[in-house]
Amino acid sequence: MSGMAGWVDLRHGVGQQANIPRSKVAEIVSAMIVAMSGRGPDGHAVWLGPEVALGHCRTVNSRYDWDEQPWIGEIHGATVAIMYTGQLYNAAQLQQQLAGLGPAPDRWSYAEIIRRAYAQWGVGFVERLEGMFAIAIWDGQKRRLLLARDRLGLQPLYYTLRDGGVIFGSVPTAIKAHPHFTARLDTSALAIVLQPRMALPGETPLQGLHELPPASVLTFDERGHELHRYWKLESAAHTDDFEQTKDRVRELLEGVVARQYVHEVPCAAMLSGGIDSTSVAALVMKQLASQGGGAALDTFCLKFDSDEDAFTSTELRPDIDAPFAALAAEYMGTRHTTLSATMQDLLGVIPATRKARGLPGWGQFDASMYLLFERMRGNCSVALTGEAADESNGNCSYTSVHDFTPMSAAPPRTTRPRERDVRIG
């Protein structure tokens, strides 16, 4: 997950307008990092330049995550500072393309890949990245800050503009920890507080706080700021027949699961027993089976202790997930854990969900997901999921459920897998 924060002031230098000493600047950035420390338990660091102050807390997600951030290097003899969150799924391909640009490093990292890509292709390097990421680059030669976000906006990134400067962070919590920003509710955006999914790209319910839209790059230099969209979905006629469509969907799913499943760190999968999560887990099992060695996949599902007595079917949640998840896990042969939560558990973590999101709001969905992630973190640092498949695919892929047969990736088991019931709270 990781988190990053920064403060740039090109007109006065960071802290100089208010006569803030350098030690205090470092304390401010450290406080921004501490405010979102849950995003990066594997270490944090701060770096100061005359016009920029950067901080980062990190979670190790892959073998490319070994270096400390902010990462400091040079481009054309000038200092460049790089921070990122998330993962690049085409890191290996980019490494091959960029290997000839300068001496080979002893060990490749995301930061080294980003530095070489930026030096080679300029701001347009973002168009060549595949993954979920947020990136911040300070270019000392151009005195320019670059902020970039992945195509679908899976990694968060927020900013607020000031006189000659910008303050940014992975989540609003970090920006609110800066003394130059005061959180004030924009009453015209009250609907977003009641239902965050109503927010348009870039919109927040706080005055002066902006979310960097998906597939966008923000550049900030002495001339001001510019927001550029580098990618968008385009509508086109669908000419494939059903069989071609089914094969193409499977090809895409197999490819994306293969790129996203991380072997270097503990990795698991969320499992509800539905089409989306079961397809993902089954394809991971297929991948593990092809590699041999008997590696197993941990899967997790959340249930509520009141489900059996008080569950009411709705359009959003027509059935209880846990029984279907257990059946899917048994069929695939995963190591399955069913986590049990009470209503009091949900109410108890709502303040923590507001802090994690960094914006006002409430809801059972945030709370239940928080409980699930909190428990999963004890076993893994990366988890695959089918979340947001409904929104991304518009349910159109569900029509191929009988022919897609995602669970055929693993043979049936004759014995029940290890399943644990763990109560939260």
Sheet holding 267-270, edge to edge: 382-384, 267-270, 298-304, 335-341, 419-423
Rg of the chain over CA atoms, in angstroms? 23
Which CATH architecture describes the domain 3-229?
Answer: 4-Layer Sandwich (3.60)
Burial of 358 (0-12, 13-18, 19+ CB in 10 A): buried
Partners of 168 in the β-ladder? 6, 159
Task: Name the residue among 40, 94, 61 with its Cα closest to residue 261.
Answer: 61
Q: Which listed CATH number (3.40.50.300, 3.40.50.620, 3.30.70.240, 3.30.420.40) goes with 242-423?
A: 3.40.50.620
Domain boundaries, the chain: 3-229, 242-423
Q: Which residues of 113-147 are buried (b: 16+ CB within 10 A; e: fewer)?
A: bbbbbbbeeebebbeebbbbbbbbbbbbeebbbbb
Three-state secondary-structure class, residue 44: strand
Containing H/E element for 41? none
- Whether this prediction's pTM lies above 0.85 is answered by no
Q: What does the block give as tokens for 18? A: 């208010």
Give kind and range of the element (H or E) at residue 269.
strand 267-270
pLDDT tens-digit series, residues 57-87: 988 777 777 778 899 988 888 899 999 999 8
Q: pLDDT tens digits for the chain (425 residues)?
A: 789 999 999 988 887 777 788 889 999 999 999 999 888 878 889 999 989 999 999 887 777 777 788 999 888 888 999 999 998 999 999 999 999 887 888 889 899 999 999 999 999 999 999 999 999 999 999 999 999 999 999 999 999 998 889 999 999 999 999 999 999 999 888 888 877 778 888 899 999 999 999 999 999 999 999 999 999 988 899 999 999 999 999 999 998 888 888 776 778 899 999 888 999 999 999 888 887 766 688 999 999 888 877 778 887 778 888 999 999 999 999 999 999 988 899 889 888 888 888 887 656 678 888 888 888 888 787 888 887 666 565 443 322 222 222 333 333 333 334 444 444 43
Distances (CA, A) of 21 to 13, 49, 67, 140: 11, 13, 29, 21
